[in-house]
Amino acid sequence: MPAMNMLQALNSAMDVLLDKHPETVIFGEDSGYFGGVFGATQGLQKKYGLDRVFDAPINEAAIAAMAIGMAAKGLKPIAEIQFADYIFPAFDQIVSEMSRLRYRSAGQFVSPVVVRSPWGGGIRGGQTHSMSPEAFFTHVPGVKVVVPSNPYDAKGMLIAASEGDDPVIFFEPKRIYNGPFDGVPDAPLSSWARHPKGEVPEGHYRVELGKAEIVREGEACTVITYGTLVHVAVNAAEKAGIDAEIIDLKTLAPYDIETIVASVNKTGRVVVAHEAPRTSGFGAELAAQIQEECFYALEAPIFRLTGWDTPYPHAHEWAYFPGQARFIRALQTVTEAR
């Protein structure tokens, strides 16, 4: 199997979808001829033509609305929002329209759109190119929200999302587009070629949405996270010598409660981690659900390791980002609590 980075894997997913399904269309700002600012759609317009892969005007509401209209007519649009930070002009179309069309029309019209968007920090993007706005969308009935953490999942989940029947907000951790990140800012970039999930089949396959994966088995505590922080967590556990069980959530809505409950009942100690701000972040949902289901198994308070309740800073990015040092402290805190 060829080694691919995340961008190549996403590109390969869209190639497969365009080839297999004539109703697949792809568009976004700079997504056509240029192939996207990160290159995710590179070469696809040349291969499939202007009708299938094209540039959209700088109007995220228009992009979302166009996708809804197309999906209602039976196309399978994959719309790119250039940065997750730019998704808010499309918020009304996603929250009030895309998510509810099936419901409010009692199934007469549907809008199975995939909205792809580069997400998260760690790239010196400052407050407008670093956000993790997933919690805004996990609060919305009718959309699925996913965050893959590696090339294999990125391809399989994008194919599953586009071939599914529901709208999916597909957030792509851009810090790990080109290689996994262990949470140490100045360390040299490692390559997906040396990671088992960098092995990506060329053809069609699906990674089912709604299923989490235990990426490291352990007994001392459970870490539940997604996106870039999956790699930071694994590295921190190794570094600290703490036998943590690490769950890559992959899908946030609907999240895989069974995998979480089984792990927490085993370890009794939990860290939930995300880059997004703490208050009303997705970690709050996880912590609340875990205490409902596993209260008597818990041996320590659930630790929320998150970004701060501030906008995402530029110069002090690494003071904001839950990197290796903060991760190790979190693991120590929950495992040492008596």
Partner 1 sequence: MSNGQSRFHVPAPPFRPGDAPDFSHLDLQKAGEAKRPDPLTAASKMTDLAFGLIGVLDHNHQAVGEWDPRLAPEMLREGLSHMVLTRIYDARMLKLQRQGKMSFYMKSLGEEAVAVAGAMALNFSDTVFPSYRQQGILFARGRNIVDMMCHCISNSRDNLKGRQLPVHYTWAEGNFFSISGNLGTQFPQAVGYAMACAYKGEDTITASWIGDGTTAAPDFHAAMTLASTYRAPVILNVVNNQWAISTYQGIAKGDAATFASKGLGYGLASLRVDGNDFLAVYAATKWAADRARKGGGATFIELFTYRADAHSTSDDPARYRPKNEFEVWPLGDPIERLKNHLIGLGEWDEDRHAKLEEQMTALVVKSYKEAESHGTLHDGPLSPTHTIFEDVYATEDWRLRRQRQDLGV
Catalytic residue among 21, 129, 139, 314: 129
Contact residue for partner 1 among 53, 70, 115, 252 (CB under 8 A) = 70
Pairing type for strands 76-80 and 24-28 reads parallel
Query: Measuring CA to CA, which residue among 170, 308, 146, 148 is closest to residue 231?
Result: 148
The residue count of the chain comes to 338
Interatomic CA distance for residues 205 and 52, integer angstroms: 21
Among 7, 17, 26, 67, binds partner 1 (CB under 8 A): 67
Taking the C-alpha atoms of residue 143 and residue 240, their distance in angstroms, rounded to an integer, is: 38
Helix axis angle, 257-267 to 282-294, nearest 10°: 60
d(CA 321, CA 231) in angstroms, rounded, equals 13
| Footprint of partner 1 on 193-222 (CB under 8 A) | 210
CA trace torsion 63, 65, 67, 70 (10° rounding)? -140
Least distance CB 325 / partner 1 (angstroms): 35
Minimum distance from CB of 110 to partner 1 (Å)? 8
Judged by CB under 8 A, does residue 101 bind partner 1? yes
Give the number of residues in contact with partner 1, rule: CB under 8 A: 40
Least separation in angstroms between residue 162's CB and partner 1 is 14
C-beta of residue 101 within 8 angstroms of C-beta of residue 59: no
Residue 195 annotated to the active site: no
Of these, 1, 51, 189, 196, which contacts partner 1 (CB under 8 A)?
51
Shortest separation between residue 172's beta carbon and partner 1, angstroms: 22
Give the residue, chosen from 2, 57, 185, 301, that forms a contact with partner 1 under the rule CB under 8 A. Answer: 57
Binding flag, residue 73, partner 1 (CB under 8 A): yes
H or E stretch covering 264? helix 257-267
Residue pair 153/147 in contact (Cβ under 8 Å)? The answer is: no
Binding to partner 1 (CB under 8 A): which residues in 118-177? 141-142, 144, 164-166
> What phi, psi does 269 have (nearest 5°)?
-135, 135
Element spanning 325, H or E: helix 324-336
Interface residue with partner 1 among 29, 85, 97, 172 (CB under 8 A) is 97
CB 46 to partner 1: min, Å: 19
8-state DSSP, 3: B
Q: Determine if 104 is a binding residue for partner 1 (CB under 8 A).
A: yes
Residue 241 CB neighbours (<10 A)? 9
256-275: contacts with partner 1 (CB under 8 A)? 257
Least Å distance, CB 68 to partner 1, is 5
Q: Which residues are catalytic?
A: 129
Binding site for partner 1 (CB under 8 A): 25, 51, 57, 59, 61-62, 65-70, 72-75, 89, 92-93, 96-97, 101-110, 141-142, 144, 164-166, 210, 254, 257
